[in-house]
Amino acid sequence: MKHLLGTEGLSAKTATAVLNTADNLKRTLLGREVHKLPTLRGRTVVTMFYENSTRTRASFEIAGKWMSADVVNVSASGSSVGKGESLRDTALTLSAAGADCVVIRHPASGAAQRLAHWLHAEGTAVVNAGDGMHEHPTQALLDAATLRERLGPLDGRRVAIVGDVLHSRVARSNVHLLSTLGAEVVLVAPPTLLPVGVASWPVAVSHTLDAELPSLDAIMMLRVQAERMHGGFFPSAREYSITYGLSEARQAMLPEHAVVLHPGPMLRGMEIASAVADSPRAAITEQVHNGVHVRMAVLYHLLAGEEATP
Amino acid sequence: MASRSRGAANSAGGRELLSAGDVARTIARMAHQIIEKTTLDAEHKPPVVLLGIPTRGTSLAARLRERITEFSGVDVPAGALDITLYRDDLRRRPNRPLAEISLPETGIDEALVILVDDVLFSGRTIRAALDALRDHGRPSAVQLAVLVDRGHRELPIRADYVGKNVPTSRDEDVVVRLADVDGADGVVVRGGRR
């Protein structure tokens, strides 16, 4: 693995290797007072965030620090980006300053891909931490890690992804990763919130949530992304919530073992009822917890090992 | 560490160093030595913990534990200590998967930890293990048990219990095979440019 740009095209073997590493890292650190491994000492990880983020950024920073890498954060506000510097120039500057790995979040789909292309010759690894409406691979990996922990192997498991699939990079990354790992994915959304070309994805599509609930092993609720909605995708928030929100009544229709996931940030009362988010079957804080180990594993696979040295 | 081979199970070739019977006898002898040196059978026995370095060290530690229980009646906890994340050659070698870490529930604080590995070569694996131990706790003392000491140390490290000392040349491989990992016991020396 040279870069991690998306889960589309990520082989089952590589994905499983990363997940196993994350698993082992989690167990290695369990119960330890010192959450620090010397593995990436002397490596520099730069996070470039052109979009707001709490958990992803903190998670990457903690992951890097726990592996003893030096982590430098650059955000669009307060950097030369505000003076009009292009993405390419910013990236080349950071790479020239000694970054071994650049973690990027950007509002434009494909930004990570472009960056990887520019930085390939420099030997700098690129991790996509969310690009527009395209992919967010580490989120999908941490979701898979959480599901594996709760359900065991994902082969043959049925997972529903519910809500704003159109604007969701989390949904795209999960569709590819979960189906690569052998799970059956069903997208549940109003037709207006499904992307064009969904027919070519390895998924089933449904518009009625209630019909799917009893057969699910896991359900992933997506946030309705108001910041990307510039049209009338549904009549009202209240109607959306009633039709596609995970209420307590709907939760009762899920099988006993089913897991509730949410990539966060949650809009309680909109796509997920507050009581459901706090119920024991919700794995939302576990997702965040696993996120650190998954990102440590990704950095390990990118930065340790001889292929990583230019 | 660099050329220490944890060779494949089908490696029939090479000069035999220890037969299956020799391996069993050697492990038994090391168990006796551990009991004697740590005074495990005395009234005030120290809290001994065996920690194997994966893959074959873990299996050796489990077998030493069995023998020690058999000879002394004392059950010593055994575990595994993966040292991959502490290696100093991570950048020079292909990425390797991590192995299991399992420490005894009692922890290793104030314990007499005996590290167990199959082959002692450069000593770098053991240095990494000492670093890893430091992050897990503070043992009262650390000792080292190895099935084969093949020389060529690059660090000031020595073993407390050695199954067999074998003079080797640097470009030879010492291949240890153990029943539960490779199907059969045995140690052979292979290769060497001539």
CB nearest to A309's CB, from B82, B91, B97: B91
- What is the sign, positive or negative, of the torsion defined by CA atoms of A310, B3, B9, B10? positive
A141 and A280 co-located in one domain: yes
Average pLDDT over residues B78-92: 89
The answer, yes or no, to whether the previous bond of A265 is cis (omega within 30 of 0) is yes
Which is nearest to A11 in space by CA: A176, A132, A124, A142?
A176
Look up the domain containing A149 and give its range.
137-286
Q: Specify whether A142 is located in the same domain as A278.
A: yes
> How would residue B65 be classed by pLDDT, with cut points 50, 70 and 90?
very high
Look at phi and psi of residue A253 and say left if phi exceeds 0, alpha if psi is from -120 to 50, else beta.
Answer: alpha
| Together in a domain, A304 and A237 | no
The pLDDT score that the predictor gives to residue B104 is 86
Closest Cα in chain A, distance from residue B4 (Å): 18
Tokens linked to A121:
């010759």
Whether A203 is in a domain gets the answer yes
What is the crossing angle of helices A12-29 and A137-151, to 10°? 70
Hey, is the C-beta of A41 within 8 angstroms of any chain B C-beta?
Answer: no
State residue B177's pLDDT score: 95
Instruction: Kindly state whether residues A46 and A175 are assigned to the same domain.
Output: no
**Measured between CA atoms, how close is B113 to chain A, in angstroms?**
18
How far is the alpha carbon of A140 from chain B, nearest alpha carbon, in Å?
A: 21
pTM: 0.87
Pair A159, A266 in one domain: yes
Tokens (6 digits) for B142: 């650390």
A257 lies in some domain = yes
B91 and A37 within 8 Å at the Cβ level: the answer is: no
Positions of E strands within A173-262: 184-188, 204-206, 218-221, 259-261
pLDDT, position A305: 75
Contacts of B98 in chain A (CB under 8 A): 20-21, 24-25, 28
Q: Is the pLDDT of residue B11 over 50?
A: no
pLDDT at position B6 is 46
Determine, yes or no, domain membership for A192: yes
Q: Which two tokens stand for residue B49?
A: 């913990």
pLDDT surpasses 70 at B71: yes
Model confidence pLDDT, tens digit, residues B131-180: 999 888 899 999 999 999 999 999 999 999 999 999 999 999 999 999 99
Number of structural domains chain A divides into: 2
Q: How many CB atoms lie within 10 A of CB B52?
A: 27
Given this model, what pLDDT does residue B7 score?
A: 44
Spell A190-207 as b/e; 16+ CB within 10 A means b: beebbeeeeeebebeeee
Interchain pair B97, A21: CB under 8 A: yes
Among B86, B93, B97, beta carbon nearest to A20: B97
Test the B interface: residue of A24, A25, A101, A298 with most B CBs within 10 Å: A24
Please judge whether A304 and B91 are an interchain contact, meaning their C-beta atoms are less than 8 angstroms apart: yes
Contact B162, B29 (CB under 8 A): no
What's residue B114's pLDDT? Answer: 97
Residue A5 lies inside a defined structural domain of this protein: no
**Other Cβ atoms closer than 10 A to A115:** 27
Give the pLDDT of residue B194: 52
User: Which residues of A are less than 8 Å from B91 in CB distance?
Assistant: 304-306, 308-309
* Rounded percentage of chain B residues whose pLDDT exceeds 90: 71
Residues of A in contact with B86 (CB under 8 A): 37-39
Query: Residue B30: is its pLDDT beyond 90?
Result: yes
Per-residue pLDDT of chain A (310 residues; tens, 9 = 90+): 889 999 999 999 999 999 999 999 998 888 787 888 999 999 999 999 998 888 899 999 999 999 999 999 988 777 777 778 888 998 899 899 999 999 999 999 999 999 999 998 888 999 999 999 999 999 999 999 999 999 999 999 999 999 999 999 999 999 999 999 999 999 999 999 999 999 999 999 999 999 999 999 999 999 988 777 777 788 888 899 999 999 999 999 999 999 999 998 999 999 999 999 999 999 999 999 999 999 999 999 999 876 544 3
**Full strand arrangement of the beta sheet holding A70-75:** A70-75, A44-49, A101-106, A125-131
Residue A3's DSSP bridge partners are none
Closest CA relative to residue A148, chosen from A139, A136, A157: A157
SS3 A73: strand
My answer on whether A234 and A119 are in the same domain is: no
Give the nearest chain A residue to B96 (CA atoms): A305
CATH number at residue A201: 3.40.50.1370
User: How far does the CA of residue A15 sit from the closest CA of chain B (Å)?
Assistant: 12
- What region, left, alpha or beta, does residue A110 occupy, with left being phi > 0 and alpha being psi -120 to 50 degrees? left
What pLDDT, on a 0 to 100 scale, did the predictor assign at position B5? 45
Give the pair of three-digit tokens for residue A91.
């990236």
The answer on A153 and A112 residing in a single domain is no
Interface test with B, best of A4, A13, A28 (most B CBs within 10 A): A28
Question: Do A205 and A76 belong together in one domain?
Answer: no
Q: How far apart are CA B134 and CA B108, in angstroms?
A: 10
A171 shares a domain with A62: no
Q: Using CB atoms within 10 A of its CB, is residue B106 exposed (0-12), middle (13-18) or buried (19+)?
A: exposed
> Domains along chain B?
19-90+98-191 (3.40.50.2020)
pLDDT of amino acid B135: 87
Note the pLDDT tens digit of each residue in B87-146: 888 877 777 788 878 888 888 889 999 999 999 999 999 999 999 998 888 999 999 999
How would residue B12 be classed by pLDDT, with cut points 50, 70 and 90? Answer: low
> Residue B191: beta bridge partners?
B172
Is there a domain that residue A6 lies in?
no
- At residue B193 the predicted structure's pLDDT band, cuts being 50, 70 and 90, is low
Cα distance between residue A258 and residue A160, in whole Å: 11
Q: Using a CB–CB cutoff of 8 Å, tell me whether A256 touches chain B.
A: no
A199 and A159 part of one domain: yes
What is the least distance, in Å, from the CA of A123 to any CA of chain B? 14
Residue A227 and residue A110 share a domain: no
Interface of A with B in 125-184 (CB under 8 A): none
CA atoms within 13 A on the CB side of B146: 23
- What is the pLDDT at residue B91? 77
Q: Report yes or no: A27 at the B interface, CB cutoff 8 Å.
A: yes
Question: Do A16 and A85 belong together in one domain?
Answer: yes
- Confidence class for position B27, pLDDT limits 50, 70, 90: very high
**Which residue, chain included where needed, has tokens 């003076």?**
A83
